[in-house]
């Protein structure tokens, strides 16, 4: 499964997601069954890192939040996609991936959007373009998502990796936006790696 980051400077970044039917089904299961903070850095083929926040509890309504940030981990700079939400919010994303699998035509253009039309999405937000699954996506990744030279900021040369520690993401209140979480709710991120910024889900991510 590949995550393709659109124009970083756009007011609403559009992240394109590619994968096979099996990968989409597996990711849908991860979205609804993960218990703790889950960090999945991209492999050496590129793409975005992924960070799944724990499912939010004590919410006043169902919601999903999708952000991105620049991070340094695994010896390189990369963009990290952050996904969080209530049980219903994660379920909404999982349902969309499963709908894509059921409608599988083998054509990436047969896609679904998660954008401002989705009432559960907390704004400001990154938008998702879930491309139609392709059976041989691993073999066609370079064709579907050609490697891009401008995935990161143009001023990266002055950023010192030694001064760019990966920041822990402790809770939803570290993100932008107003979240429907009860003020007396303790939304924990486990201490074994709860950090701020990174996205990838064990599948091969790629940016275009």
Per-residue pLDDT, averaged over 144-161, amounts to 75
Phi and psi (nearest 5°) for 56? -70, 135
Burial call 19-53: b when 16+ CB within 10 Å, e when fewer = bbbebbbbbbebbeeeeebbbbbbeeebbbbbbbb
Q: List the structure tokens of 46.
A: 């590129």
- 208 located within any domain: no
Task: Kindly state whether residue 169 falls inside one of the protein's structural domains.
Answer: no
Residue 160 in domain:
no
Q: Is residue 123 one of the residues assigned to a domain?
A: yes
**Domain range spanning residue 64?**
2-149
The tens digit of pLDDT for each residue in 112-127 reads 999 999 999 998 888 9
Domain assignment present for 93: yes
In this predicted model, what pLDDT tens digit does every residue of 163-208 receive, in sequence order? 888 887 867 877 877 889 886 554 543 333 332 222 333 333 333 3
Q: What is the pLDDT of residue 27?
A: 97
């Amino acid at each position: 499964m590949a995550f393709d980051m659109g124009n970083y400077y756009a007011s609403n970044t559009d992240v394109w997601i590619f994968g096979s039917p099996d990968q989409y089904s597996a990711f849908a299961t991860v979205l609804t069954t993960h218990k703790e903070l889950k960090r999945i850095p991209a492999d050496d083929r590129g793409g975005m890192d992924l960070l799944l926040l724990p499912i939010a509890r004590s919410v006043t309504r169902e919601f999903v939040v999708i952000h991105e940030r620049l991070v340094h981990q695994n010896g390189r700079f990369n963009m990290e996609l952050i996904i969080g939400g209530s049980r219903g919010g994660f379920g909404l994303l999982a349902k969309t991936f499963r709908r894509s699998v059921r409608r599988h035509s083998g054509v990436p253009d047969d896609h679904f959007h998660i954008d401002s039309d989705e009432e559960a999405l907390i704004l400001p937000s990154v938008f998702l373009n879930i491309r139609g699954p392709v059976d041989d996506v691993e073999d066609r990744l370079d064709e579907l998502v050609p490697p891009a030279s401008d995935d990161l900021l143009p001023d990266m040369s002055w950023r010192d990796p030694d001064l760019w520690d990966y920041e822990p993401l402790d809770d939803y209140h570290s993100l932008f936006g107003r979240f429907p979480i009860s003020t007396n709710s303790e939304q924990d991120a486990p201490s074994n790696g709860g950090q701020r910024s990174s996205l990838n889900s064990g599948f091969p991510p790629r940016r275009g």
